[in-house]
Amino acid sequence: MENKNIFFAMIIICIIALIDSLYLLYVHYFPLVPDAPLFALCTAGTMFDCNAVNTSAYAVLFGLPLSAWGLSFYIFFITILIVYYTYSRHHIIEFSMLWLTLFAVLLSVVLGFISFSKIKKFCSFCMILWLCNGMLLVLVCVHISRLYNGLKSAVNTIHDFDVIALIKDSHVQKIIFILSIAGIISLGLGYGLDASLKYEYNQKEKERQAKLIEEFKKDYEQYEKVSITVDDIEPFIGKKENPVHIVVFFDFNCGACHRAIGLLNELALKNEGSIALYLRHFPLDGTCNKFIEHTKDGASCHASLVACALYGEKEYHEYIMQLMTHRGRVDDDVIKEVVTGLKKNYTQLEAKANTPHVNKLLQNDIAIGGKLGIHATPTIIINNTKLRPGIPPAYILEMAIKIEMAKKM
């Protein structure tokens, strides 16, 4: 190189960026905690949060964290500099250096825009990488400007080549081979480090989960045990032979029930080979529920009767899920709108809902709930273990399911 200082400056910048990328890759899997040494640098003010940026959906590209891509890039760029300085000062390498640094700067601008407009947070260590990319581009431009008497002349010179003639050049072939091997090794190192950290994370997560389950198991064993049959109904999701049976008593006008049914529906679909989800109607309205003292407008009772009228038909699941995802109170107008949307004849379904057979289906659910002493919804029972009324966090449900699965093994 014409100027050794520029060469060493680029090497130092790449090493700084390399260390920074390695640190960000670690933070991607193990987010910073308040007592971490560099936590203050990442959480300065309200705009800086490395965890938010580094674990966002925008932090991964083609299954690999951006920090791992950066790690590979800086290893590869250091290799280019070493090859250029010690082996060949061919202008094809200068061409590569210019476009690689230009690409890095453009990518930095895009990531900065995403941080500002989408995530609305900035990562101070990411900004160090953006600065390093900008400095590398400047140094490359300074270097080629000195070599070719000006930046414009340099750009024209290093872009003035015949691709076919260049490929036939044995010296260039060696350069391309060396850099191709370097690129593969660099990318392999990026993937390797990412895989090792991911493995370490998964192992620690398994240990953490096992510890949480063990601690939760002590409380779970103290929950009320009940005897409840599901012989008279079909699973809402799953199969009867599945090892984990979840029964939920719910009311169509219970906000917590809406969230619980959505969560349980998702869990059951996720573990369709292990979970059978059953729904029991328990309107919190004395109009149809003799175990509830106060009488309301009967809307919840009506919604449950229509559901029972649809029981056994393919629209049953969709009817319930549409009402449970409805924002606001479920009343007669909402019920009619959903039924009509399902292409069912509302008048005929209403007539069916008022028959003794359908009313018996609803009263059977209510009677079972009454015998179990249910007084609030949602009430969830997992393999005869009655959870406390209300909507438990997803991780509680998942741990309870794992405990029940372990019992069946």
Write out the residue range of the structural domain in which residue 313 sits: 224-408
* Residue 1 reports pLDDT greater than 50: no
Least confident among 101-110, 126-135, 216-225, 250-259: 216-225
Q: What is the pTM of this model?
A: 0.63
Q: What average pLDDT does the segment 38-43 reach?
A: 72
| 296 and 382, same domain (yes or no) | yes
Q: What average pLDDT does the segment 249-263 reach?
A: 92
Query: Within a domain: residue 363?
Result: yes
Report how far residue 192's alpha carbon sits from residue 18's, in angstroms, rounded to the nearest whole number. Answer: 15
134: domain CATH number?
1.20.1440.130
| 246 and 126, same domain (yes or no) | no
Please give the C-alpha separations between residue 77 and each of 15, 83, 93, 104, in angstroms, as whole numbers.
Answer: 10, 10, 11, 11
Query: Which residue carries 């917590």 as its tokens?
Result: 256
* Residue 229 reports pLDDT greater than 90: no
| 164 and 258, same domain (yes or no) | no
Share of the chain above pLDDT 70, in %: 97
pLDDT confidence bin for 129, thresholds 50/70/90: very high
User: pLDDT digits over 53-84, tens only?
Assistant: 888 889 998 889 999 999 999 999 999 999 99
Contact predicate 224/380, CB 8 Å = no
Contact predicate 322/341, CB 8 Å = yes
Query: Within a domain: residue 86?
Result: yes
Contact predicate 94/144, CB 8 Å = yes
pLDDT at 134: 96
pLDDT at 2: 52
| 249 and 345, same domain (yes or no) | yes
| 52 and 195, same domain (yes or no) | yes
Query: Within a domain: residue 370?
Result: yes
Structural domains in the chain (count): 2
| 190 and 295, same domain (yes or no) | no
| 12 and 62, same domain (yes or no) | yes
* Residue 107 reports pLDDT greater than 50: yes
337: domain CATH number?
3.40.30.10
Q: Which of 43-47, 217-221, 336-340 has the highest mean pLDDT?
A: 336-340
pLDDT confidence bin for 409, thresholds 50/70/90: low
Cα 293 from chain centroid?
Answer: 44
Share of the chain above pLDDT 90, in %: 56
Higher-scoring residue by pLDDT: 221, 166:
221
What is the rounded average pLDDT for all residues in the chain? 90
Contact predicate 317/286, CB 8 Å = no
pLDDT at 104: 95
Q: What average pLDDT does the segment 355-366 reach?
A: 95
Least confident among 17-26, 347-356, 368-377, 386-395: 386-395
Contact predicate 67/29, CB 8 Å = no
Please identify, among 205, 238, 263, the residue that sits at the C-terminal boundary of a domain.
Answer: 205
pLDDT at 215: 84
* Residue 45 reports pLDDT greater than 70: no
Helix axes 66-86, 170-220, angle to 10 degrees: 150
Q: What average pLDDT does the segment 312-326 reach?
A: 93
| 186 and 264, same domain (yes or no) | no
Report how far residue 284's alpha carbon sits from residue 254's, in angstroms, rounded to the nearest whole number. Answer: 8
| 171 and 246, same domain (yes or no) | no
Tokens of 70: 């950066």
pLDDT at 337: 94
* Residue 188 reports pLDDT greater than 90: yes
pLDDT confidence bin for 303, thresholds 50/70/90: very high
| 29 and 137, same domain (yes or no) | yes
* Residue 38 reports pLDDT greater than 80: no
Look at the alpha carbons of 372, 376, 377, 382 in this order and tell me if their dihedral is positive or negative: negative
Query: Within a domain: residue 214?
Result: no
Tokens of 226: 């009940």
Query: Within a domain: residue 308?
Result: yes
* Residue 230 reports pLDDT greater than 80: yes
Categorise residue 312: left if φ over 0, alpha if ψ from -120 to 50, beta otherwise: left
Higher-scoring residue by pLDDT: 32, 182:
182
| 297 and 375, same domain (yes or no) | yes
Please identify, among 205, 240, 261, the residue that sits at the C-terminal boundary of a domain.
Answer: 205
E-state strands within 67-157: none
Contact predicate 320/314, CB 8 Å = no
Least confident among 42-46, 136-140, 260-264: 42-46
Query: Within a domain: residue 217?
Result: no
Higher-scoring residue by pLDDT: 409, 88:
88
User: pLDDT digits over 146-185, tens only?
Assistant: 888 899 988 888 888 777 887 788 888 888 899 899 999 9
Give the bridge partners for 162, in sequence order: none
| 357 and 312, same domain (yes or no) | yes
pLDDT confidence bin for 221, thresholds 50/70/90: confident
